[in-house]
Chains A and B, each alone.
Chain A
Amino acid sequence: MPMTITEKILARHAGLESVAPGDLVEARVDLAFAHDFTAPIAIQVFRQIGAPKVFDRRRVALVADHFVPNKDIASAEQAKLMREFAREQDLELYYEVGEAGIGHVLLPEQGLVVPGQLVIGADSHTCAYGALGAFSTGVGSTDFAAVMATGETWLRVPPTIRVEFTGTLRPLVGGKDLILRLIGEIGVEGALYAALEFCGDVVGKLSMPHRFAMANMAIEAGAKNGIIAPDETTKAYVKGRARWEPLWLASDAGAKYEKVITIDATDLEPQVAFPPSPANVRPVSEAKGIALDQVFIGSCTNGWLEDLRDAAKILKGRKKAKGLRLIVIPASPTILKDATREGLVETFLEAGAVVGPPCCGPCLGGHMGILASGERALATTNRNFVGRMGHPKSEVYLCNPSVAAASAVLGRIGSPEEL
Chain B
Amino acid sequence: MKYEGRAWKFGDDVDTDMIIAARYCNVSDGAALAKHVFADGRPEFASSVSAGDVVVGGRNFGCGSSREHAPIAIRAAGVPLIIAKSFARIFYRNAFNIGLPLLESAEAVDDIRDGDRLAVDLAAGRIENLTRGKSYSTRPIPPFMEQLIRQGGLVEYIRKEKLAAR
Contact = CB atoms under 8 A, between A and B. Distances in A.
A75 interface: yes
A72 B27 CA distance: 11
Contact of B94 (A143, A152, A370): A143
Contacts, number: 132
A140 B66 contact: yes
6 nearest A-B pairs in the assembled complex, by CB-CB distance: A140-B94, A140-B68, A74-B26, A387-B40, A189-B60, A142-B97
Interface string A31-75: 000000110110011001111000000000000001100011011
Given A224-B89, A365-B21, A385 B26 contact: no
A136 to B, nearest CB: 12
A150 interface: yes
Interface of A: 24, 37-38, 40-41, 44-45, 48-51, 66-67, 71-72, 74-75, 78, 121-124, 126, 138-143, 145-146, 149-150, 152, 154, 188-189, 192-193, 222, 224, 277, 364-366, 370, 383, 385-388, 392
Contact of A49 (B18, B27, B93, B158): B158
Interface of B: 13, 15, 17-18, 21-23, 25-28, 39-41, 59-60, 63-69, 71-72, 86, 88-90, 93-94, 97-98, 144, 153-155, 158-159, 162-163
A245 to B, nearest CB: 27
A38 B22 CA distance: 11
12 contacts: A75-B26, A123-B65, A123-B66, A124-B65, A138-B90, A140-B97, A142-B94, A142-B154, A146-B154, A149-B162, A188-B63, A388-B17
B66 to A, nearest CB: 4
B163 A38 contact: no
B43 to A, nearest CB: 8
A154 B40 contact: no
Contacts of B23: 365-366, 370
A153 to B, nearest CB: 10
A364 B13 CA distance: 18
Given A124-B65, A383-B64, A387-B21, A78 B28 contact: yes
Contacts of A145: 155
B72 to A, nearest CB: 8
Given A124-B64, A138-B66, A189-B88, A387 B153 contact: no
B144, B153, B155, most chain A CB atoms within 10 A: B155
B60 A192 contact: yes
A406 to B, nearest CB: 28
